[in-house]
Amino acid sequence: MDYTFLNEQKHYEAILSIFKGVLKNSDDPTEYEWFAEEEAERIAASDVKDMEKYVHMSDTKLFGNFANIREDWDYIPDFVGSEVKPWGRFDDVVKSIDDKTISEEDLAKFQEWCSDWFFTAFGTYNLKYNFATDLGELAYYDECEREMLELATV
């Protein structure tokens, strides 16, 4: 069991689902599915590492964002639209994860809450926008390469 603050596999699946939604708007939604999978894997791994650093900061205020994971857990549990309701103090839960003394059930609940918090705090707009931009550039370069190959065979 990974004592992380986001479940990497579930986070990957959530991001991949978002990317597949973007792919549905393309001419061939399956052509760049490999790219969606690679990007979702890269971003999920990065988010897990970033969350690890973030929850251990003494000040979890985010510049330009009203979300604050510690305050949202301890004082504003309704900020997050999650079925999981906070229990105990945030710092105590983090310590129990660090010490690996948290139960598997509570760890799974905390990871679910953190995932819900993540998408509530940051939304999905930037994920969609950045993926669509990268996808557009990739499709453009693929089209240029196809044209170059056609010219070379003429």
pTM of the model: 0.89
What's the gap between Cα 45 and its chain centre? 8
The closest alpha carbon to 56, from 107, 90, 23, belongs to 90
- Residue 149 in any domain: the answer is yes
- pLDDT tens profile 57-84: 999 998 888 899 999 999 997 888 899 9
Q: How many domains does the chain have?
A: 1
65 backbone dihedrals φ, ψ, rounded to 5°: -140, 135
Any idea which residue has 């900061």 for tokens? 57
- Residue 137 in any domain: the answer is yes
Question: Residue 57 in contact with residue 48, Cβ under 8 Å?
Answer: no
Residues of the domain holding 95: 8-153
Question: Which parts of the chain sit beneath pLDDT 50?
Answer: none
